[in-house]
């Protein structure tokens, strides 16, 4: 669900309807800081920060980012330090607080179930992010876009108030290298040891996978207990798992999936842990089919992305709903645009960066840096580079020019899609990129007769019936 599309408002609504409401956990520090800079007009972020355990930390964040009445439309958002393997205390404070805020708001005044979805590929913020959502009492943590075998053990450590480590995926590193990040709660709080080691409930962990092989590996070899799985097919939105075997590209520039990419669900059933199916199941018939195959339920993303409660900018929702109603909503599974190397589903909208002319006209900038890759420098230390950054910068860091072809600044483009575009130093306003699953062609079916939009309630009731309570 990109950055901030599945926000606390949407997750809370879905949770109150008796389902699991899931927050997109990527770049929540950007989401919080920019909400504050835009004036926090409904007061929700400041209300949640008033419940943060350390009010001096909360005040430091407010002092830096909050702008009463909101910044000017043409003013730049404050340039935050980019995340690395050695984040400062200030960077960690913002991440922990932002993750706390989003979960606290999603859980406020009800006892429904709330989860957060992180990306394994976005490694450097994950320790602080996991700690922040656990601090707010999140019920589930979901993670995909990689092999999240270290995450259950990290959650175990944090639940006991212990420090946790995460080994970084560093290009060019050898087995002898020890590139590890650490998050120590005692050091973070800066309190005496007894007060710092806060114990917390351990959420359940769901791994997002695309094959039975990975499910078995995680069930038997992860650092802690994996409570279940989300099994995503290639029609699901956002980042997709690459096809198994050598990547083959169609004439349209899309990866070709085959029989090897269809997970053997009977083998996942044999593992004996609950799983949900994702990718074109958002209907009563889809739910029934998933359950007949052994799943306990389904994951719904695209249908919620364009509902009234989601974080997409209103004009994007209006545009995509109109395309869907006209039978003109199209997805391209772009094998190149994401610097992660994973295929990325992009809605084809002429006035966004899915338009090659607008993509080529954009001056390359990398100032958020979530999808940067760590690499081993000649001096043995860690460096960071992104195939979407200025090409000369990438080449100076040892990157291959072929890696830069077709790459987009997904970080800035997704922040723009929720109405938080950066104004770059050259005066250029960052354009948008809209990601969805193949079901985007069908979302107009959720619009009630006589209306031009739909709510999360409409989605849930169309799938599970009228027995839900808002």
Q: Provide mean pLDDT across the span 322-339.
A: 92
Does the pLDDT at position 306 exceed 50?
Answer: yes
Predicted TM-score (pTM) of the model is 0.94
What is the reported pLDDT for 195? 52
Does the pLDDT at position 135 exceed 70?
Answer: yes
What is the reported pLDDT for 46? 98
Backbone angles phi, psi at 449, to 5 degrees: -60, 135
Q: Which of 202, 124, 204 is nearest to 167 (CA)?
A: 124
C-alpha–C-alpha distance, residues 394 and 317, integer Å: 35
C-alpha–C-alpha distance, residues 350 and 365, integer Å: 22
* Strands 170-171 and 373-376, bridge-based pairing: parallel
Q: Which of 77-86, 122-131, 241-250, 346-355 has the lowest mean pLDDT?
A: 241-250
What is the chain's length?
470
Task: Sort residue 19 into left (φ over 0), alpha (ψ -120 to 50) or beta.
Answer: beta
C-alpha–C-alpha distance, residues 211 and 209, integer Å: 6
> What are the distances in angstroms from CA 47 to CA 54, 55, 92, 224, 367?
14, 12, 20, 35, 29
Across 323-447, the runs of DSSP E, i.e. the strands, are 331-334, 344-347, 373-376, 382-385
Please report whether residue 58 resides in a domain.
yes
Dihedral (C-alpha) 320, 322, 326, 327: value to the nearest 10 degrees? 20
| Residue 314 burial by Cβ neighbours in a 10 Å radius (0-12, 13-18, 19+) | exposed
Q: Which of 109, 170, 131 is nearest to 25 (CA)?
A: 131
Please report whether residue 61 resides in a domain.
yes
What is the reported pLDDT for 10? 97
Give the range of the structural domain holding residue 136, as residue numbers without chain letter: 8-311+446-464
Q: Which of 146, 135, 294 is nearest to 228 (CA)?
A: 294
Q: Which of 1, 14, 5, 100 is nearest to 51 (CA)?
A: 100
Q: At 357, is the secondary structure helix, strand, or coil?
A: helix
Q: What is the per-residue pLDDT across 175-193, written as a single tens digit (0 to 9) for each?
A: 888 899 999 999 999 865 4
Does the pLDDT at position 469 exceed 60?
Answer: no
Please report whether residue 96 resides in a domain.
yes
- With contact defined as beta carbons under 8 Å apart, do 22 and 116 qualify? yes
What is the reported pLDDT for 219? 94
Dihedral (C-alpha) 143, 144, 149, 152: value to the nearest 10 degrees? 10
∠ CA 306-354-76, nearest 5°, is 80
Q: What is the per-residue pLDDT across 422-451, written as a single tens digit (0 to 9) for each?
A: 999 888 999 999 999 989 999 999 999 999
Going by pLDDT thresholds of 50, 70 and 90, the confidence category of residue 241 is confident
Count Cα neighbours of 145 within 13 Å in the Cβ-side half-sphere.
Answer: 25
Going by pLDDT thresholds of 50, 70 and 90, the confidence category of residue 468 is low
Does the pLDDT at position 234 exceed 90?
Answer: no
> What total number of domains does the chain contain?
1
| Residue 156 burial by Cβ neighbours in a 10 Å radius (0-12, 13-18, 19+) | middle
**CATH number for the domain including 305?**
3.20.20
Please report whether residue 366 resides in a domain.
no
Please report whether residue 426 resides in a domain.
no
Does the pLDDT at position 346 exceed 50?
Answer: yes
> What are the distances in angstroms from CA 139 to CA 1, 7, 206, 209, 255?
19, 16, 11, 20, 35
What is the reported pLDDT for 194? 47
C-alpha–C-alpha distance, residues 470 and 466, integer Å: 11
pLDDT, averaged across the chain: 92
- With contact defined as beta carbons under 8 Å apart, do 57 and 188 qualify? no
∠ CA 205-208-209, nearest 5°, is 130
Please report whether residue 409 resides in a domain.
no
C-alpha–C-alpha distance, residues 432 and 412, integer Å: 8
Please give, one letter per residue, the 3-state secondary structure of 151-205.
HHHHHHHHHCCCCEEEECCEECCCCCCCCEEEECHHHHHCCCHHHHCCCCCCCEE
Does the pLDDT at position 232 exceed 60?
Answer: yes
C-alpha–C-alpha distance, residues 384 and 39, integer Å: 33
C-alpha–C-alpha distance, residues 338 and 252, integer Å: 16
Going by pLDDT thresholds of 50, 70 and 90, the confidence category of residue 465 is confident
Does the pLDDT at position 200 exceed 80?
Answer: yes
Going by pLDDT thresholds of 50, 70 and 90, the confidence category of residue 141 is very high
Q: What is the per-residue pLDDT across 247-302, written as a single tens digit (0 to 9) for each?
A: 888 888 888 888 888 889 999 999 999 999 998 899 999 999 999 999 999 999 99
C-alpha–C-alpha distance, residues 10 and 3, integer Å: 13
Please report whether residue 316 resides in a domain.
no
Please report whether residue 327 resides in a domain.
no
């Amino acid at each position: 669900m990109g950055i901030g599309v599945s926000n606390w408002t949407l997750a809370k609504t879905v949770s109150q309807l008796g389902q699991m409401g899931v927050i997109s956990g990527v770049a929540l520090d950007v989401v919080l800081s920019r909400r504050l800079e835009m004036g926090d007009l409904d007061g929700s972020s400041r209300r949640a920060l008033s419940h943060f355990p350390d009010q001096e930390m909360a005040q430091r964040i407010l002092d830096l980012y909050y702008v009463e009445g909101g910044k000017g439309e043409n003013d730049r958002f404050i340039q935050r330090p980019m995340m690395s393997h050695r984040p400062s205390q200030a960077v960690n404070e913002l991440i922990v607080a932002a993750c706390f805020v989003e979960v606290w708001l999603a859980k406020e005044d009800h006892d429904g179930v709330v989860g957060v979805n992180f990306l394994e590929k976005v490694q450097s913020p994950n320790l602080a992010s996991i700690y922040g959502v656990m601090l707010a009492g999140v019920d589930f943590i979901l993670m995909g876009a990689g092999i999240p075998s270290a995450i259950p053990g990290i959650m175990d450590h944090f639940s006991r108030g212990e420090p946790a480590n995460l080994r970084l995926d560093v290009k060019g590193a050898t087995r002898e290298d020890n590139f590890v990040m650490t998050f120590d709660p005692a050091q973070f709080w800066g309190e005496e040891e007894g007060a710092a080691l806060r114990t917390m409930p351990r959420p359940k962990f769901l791994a997002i996978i695309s094959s039975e092989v990975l499910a078995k590996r995680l069930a038997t070899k992860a650092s802690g207990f994996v409570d279940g799985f989300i099994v995503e097919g290639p029609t699901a939105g956002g980042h997709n798992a690459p096809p198994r075997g050598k990547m083959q590209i169609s004439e349209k520039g899309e990866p070709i999936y085959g029989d090897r990419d269809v997970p053997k669900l009977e083998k996942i059933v044999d593992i004996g842990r609950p799983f949900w199916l994702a990718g074109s199941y958002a209907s009563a018939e889809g739910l029934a089919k998933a359950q007949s195959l052994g799943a306990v339920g389904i994951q719904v993303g695209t249908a919620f992305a364009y509902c009234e409660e989601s974080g997409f900018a209103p004009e994007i929702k209006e545009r995509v709903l109109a395309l869907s109603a006209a039978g003109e909503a199209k997805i391209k599974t772009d094998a190149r645009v994401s610097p992660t190397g994973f295929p990325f589903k992009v809605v084809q909208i002429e006035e966004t960066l899915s338009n090659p002319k607008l993509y080529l006209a954009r001056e390359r900038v990398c100032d958020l840096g979530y999808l940067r890759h760590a690499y081993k420098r000649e001096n043995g230390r860690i460096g960071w580079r992104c195939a979407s950054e200025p090409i000369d910068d990438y080449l100076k860091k040892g990157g291959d020019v072929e890696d830069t072809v077709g790459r987009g600044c997904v970080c800035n483009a997704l922040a723009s899609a929720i109405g938080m575009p950066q104004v770059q130093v050259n005066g250029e306003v960052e354009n948008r990129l809209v990601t969805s699953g193949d079901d985007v062609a069908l979302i107009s079916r959720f619009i009630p007769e006589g209306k031009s939009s739909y709510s999360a309630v409409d989605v849930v009731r169309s799938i599970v019936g009228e027995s839900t309570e808002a």
